[in-house]
Amino acid sequence: MTILVGYVPGEGGAGGIQLGAMLAESLDTDLVIATVAPTPWTTPSLARVDAEFLDWTDQFIDQAFSEVTAHMNIYPAALTWSFDRLDHRTASAALAAHAKEIGAAAVVLASTGDGQLGQIVVGSTADALLHRSEVAVALSPRGYRSPRDGLLTRVTAAIAGDDPQDRTVLTNAHMLADEMTAPLRVVTFAVRGGAMYPPLVGLAGESDVLDQWVEQSAQAHEALRADGLITDDTVTEIATGRGWREAVDSLDWQGGEVMLIGSTREGPLRRVFIGSRSTKLIRHSPVPVVVLPK
């Protein structure tokens, strides 16, 4: 098992490295950090412009390696890591192929670019991997920093409560928590949208719908507990709110926690694919999110 981190120099990707290192340390496995050097779309020639482009890519990789080495100096020597250069036209395709080649358990990316600190930003590379990766995709919030001891503190499994995919998510969540000796929490989000049925049933009816949703979620949790997919010592919670931000903020979150979510049933076989609910949850999560393949 290996953790693969995709790193872009000069774009604040330290959060991805820290998340990848935390996962690797907690799983007692090795860490591979890779930077994709872009290749030209046309066939290279001996022209000066091609030589200059190759020089630029070499400098790009050298900068990445220098930054990665500086980041990794804070970790103990027991954490085995390596740096790989990948040459490809698209970063997502290169990382997906490399993950398969080295047998990675997950591809880790940092949130870069626009967005608030503490918020997960799904860029073009992350979006592409969330639609094509055969392994889990882990995303760190902007400015993410792992705990001082570098170890994972809790795994939260987000489930719908009545979806067959929940059983796969729970099985994987139990395995991850056991391997990392971290507690597991199971959460279902019951979110009331700002325009959920008011034209037909009014605000009171909207509250009734939410109450029924909460009750059904609680019953689903008990059914999963009866089947042994939720153990007796596992904490279960139902987060409610008038929107995703309010629902997410109603829970307590720990430093060093990660949230696991499953891919949608409409996704391609053995691929990560997320629907609208998962996308909203990712964008509002205050902790790193690991999206599991179907």
pLDDT higher at 26 or 148: 26
Look up the pTM and report it: 0.88
Q: How far is CA 61 from the centre of its chain?
A: 25
- Given strand 154-158, what is the order of strands in its sheet? 81-88, 30-38, 2-6, 104-110, 136-140, 289-292, 257-262, 154-158, 184-191, 235-241
**pLDDT class of 162 with cuts at 50, 70, 90:** low
Match 């994709």 to its residue by tokens. 36
Predicted confidence (pLDDT) per residue in 213-250, tens digit: 889 889 999 999 999 999 999 999 999 988 899 999 99
For residues 191 and 240, the answer to whether their CB atoms sit within 8 Å is yes
Highest mean pLDDT among 39-48, 74-83, 98-107, 258-267: 98-107
For residues 127 and 156, the answer to whether their CB atoms sit within 8 Å is no
Residue ranges and CATH numbers for the domains of the chain are 1-149 (3.40.50.620), 153-294 (3.40.50.620)
Predicted confidence (pLDDT) per residue in 204-213, tens digit: 556 777 788 8
Predicted confidence (pLDDT) per residue in 100-124, tens digit: 999 999 999 999 777 788 899 999 9
Distance in angstroms (rounded) separating the CA atoms of residues 274 and 293: 9
